[in-house]
Chains A and B, each alone.
Chain A
Amino acid sequence: NAGVMQNPRHLVRRRGQEARLRCSPMKGHSHVYWYRQLPEEGLKFMVYLQKENIIDESGMPKERFSAEFPKEGPSILRIQQVVRGDSAAYFCASQGQGSYEQYFGPGTRLTVT
């Protein structure tokens, strides 16, 4: 986990609000993955990004969810008009160029009330 930062660690939103989750990868890493973990379930792939590019978003719901990884700054996972079913832990992982290893952040726990 060392080096991958996620904030906030806990986020409470009411139904219909927007949630913004941030992930700062390890220094020198240009690949970021986002995963979602529902209570008592395994992690599910959402999206894979490189700097300024979305490489694979096949795991992300088509509506309300978007992700970006700009040239400068953290990667952002944005959930619009949140619903109760969005309550989960969202993890990001960073990966260095040419490496298979992914390093996970501590996660953001989103609660929708």
Chain B
Amino acid sequence: KNQVEQSPQSLIILEGKNCTLQCNYTVSPFSNLRWYKQDTGRGPVSLTIMTFSENTKSNGRYTATLDADTKQSSLHITASQLSDSASYICVVSYTGGFKTIFGAGTRLFVKA
């Protein structure tokens, strides 16, 4: 069964600290994996997108990794800021790219 699981479900960290969010998937045939940030009440905003051949992608303080063999991805946030408080969603596409499964998200709270 095609699934995307994210952990932890929620996370509280202090401003300035780093954190890593996890995404495991059982999706086939894999096309690409994307990480999105969703602020409360708003639409998701893309952070990174990786295809099968890419194993790391950075976007400012956000760095995503992909291990296609173990079907795992992580999103590392460096030097967190209060504005990083949001849900982070892992999305995996398959079957040529237009079939998509969303993870339930990790809710990140950054405290001063």
Contacts and interface: CB of A to CB of B under 8 A. Distances in A.
A48 B102 contact: no
Contacts of A31: 98
A33 interface: yes
A1 B45 contact: yes
B99 A44 contact: no
A100 B44 contact: no
Contacts of A107: 41-43
Interface string B13-47: 00000000000000000011010100001111110
B104 A41 contact: yes
A100 B46 contact: no
Nearest to A109: B41
B58 interface: no
Interface of B: 31-32, 34, 36, 41-46, 49, 51, 89, 93, 97-105
